[in-house]
Amino acid sequence: MTKIISVDDLSYQYPDADRPTLNHISFEINAGEWVAIVGHNGSGKSTLVRALDGLIDFKSGTVTVAGTKLSPESVWLVREHIGMVFQNPDNQFVGATVADDVAFGLENAGVPRPEMQKRVQEALEAVDMWQFAEREPSRLSGGQKQRVALAGIIAMNPSIIVLDEATSMLDPHGRQTVLSVLQHLRRSNQAPTILSITHDLSEAAQAQRLLVMDNGQLISEGTPRAIFSDEQLLESTGLDLPFSTKLSQQLAKQGLVTPKQYLTDDELEDWLWQSHLTM
């Protein structure tokens, strides 16, 4: 498998901070992989993904994206490979209308107008927002705005999409629509690499791999199953426990049988059904 992102011994301290926000971080991400970054607020997740896009000026360590080592000279090239969606739907909406916003990146890249029109329409159709092309952002819901932000990225066809808590300010319905766009995109022929920061366990569970941040350090990485089965890790880093784990704990309190290892919700359902049948 080809590596699309390599981070080697990355450290960073904000100019006015008294301690480093990123502390000797190294990891790699394969092309086409879906990776979630989890960790409590202030653990350095946003700073980390900003470093990948050259949005902070780190002095120590290296970042390589799609074979290009990030440097002041290569930063615009690297940014072509990465599309970023941020947390606040309002603060990243540049255009005065939906279509204008999607076109923003294409305009920056100097894409000719006929080509631009085609790509704007295709991208808006991909996120199911074409019928709102002429709307102003003030008349859209949060979920719709985030889908427009995604369309702006889809139109640029980057190989990597980074989501920094893109769903955390949305209601459950808005969150669901954004996630289903992502799943759809994974199956399309763009099939971008996805790197998403999230607090939502069901969202993290969809990833192939999790990176766990704590106080500026990458303290663990592994499959969702491996991470979710480590109750101590989850508790010490302030993460939620999966529902299956919470239920198992409650079953134990009632003196009932519990599975010997971590099971996903679906697996626990199966397991309970099997135990029920043995009664």
Ligand X SMILES: Nc1ncnc2c1ncn2[C@@H]1O[C@H](COP(=O)(O)OP(=O)(O)O)[C@@H](O)[C@H]1O
Site for ligand X in 15-74 (CB under 6 A): 16-17, 21, 39, 41-47
Handedness of CA 140, 146, 149, 150 (dihedral sign): negative
> Residue 90: which of Mg ion, other proteins, ligand X, none does it interact with, CB under 5 to 8 A by kind?
other proteins
Interaction of residue 261 with other proteins, rule CB under 8 A: no
CA proximity to 161, closest of 41, 31, 39, 7? 31
The DSSP bridge partners found for residue 27 are 7
> Residue 73: which of ligand X, other proteins, Mg ion, none does it interact with, CB under 5 to 8 A by kind?
none
Token reading at 25: 């971080």
47 vs 193, which CB is nearer to Mg ion?
47
Interaction of residue 15 with other proteins, rule CB under 8 A: no
Phi and psi (nearest 5°) for 251? -60, -40
CB of 3 to other proteins, least distance (A): 22
Interaction of residue 141 with other proteins, rule CB under 8 A: yes
> Residue 24: which of ligand X, Mg ion, other proteins, none does it interact with, CB under 5 to 8 A by kind?
none
46 vs 177, which CB is nearer to Mg ion?
46
Phi and psi (nearest 5°) for 207? -75, 160
Binding to other proteins (CB under 8 A): which residues in 154-213? 156, 168-169, 171-174, 199
The sheet with strand 68-69 has its strands ordered as: 22-30, 3-12, 60-65, 68-69
Token reading at 11: 């450290």
9 vs 270, which CB is nearer to other proteins?
270
The contact pattern for other proteins, residues 16-35, with x = CB under 8 A and - = no contact, is --------------------
Q: What angle do CA 156, 160, 163 make, to 5 degrees?
A: 95
Q: Which residues contact 52 (CB under 8 A, 6 or more apart)?
A: 5, 7, 63, 65, 70, 78, 82, 162, 195
**Which of 25, 37, 51, 53: binder of other proteins (CB under 8 A)?**
53
Binding to other proteins (CB under 8 A): which residues in 72-111? 76, 79-80, 82-84, 86-88, 90-97, 99-100, 103-111
Pairing of strands 193-197, 34-38: parallel
9 vs 235, which CB is nearer to other proteins?
235
**Which of 2, 41, 232, 261: binder of other proteins (CB under 8 A)?**
41
**In the block, residue with structure tokens 């427009």:** 148
Q: How far is the C-alpha of 279 from the C-alpha of 276, rounded, in Å?
A: 6
Interaction of residue 71 with other proteins, rule CB under 8 A: no
Footprint of Mg ion on this chain (CB under 5 A)? Answer: 46
Chain contacts with ligand X (rule: CB under 6 A): 14, 16-17, 21, 39, 41-47
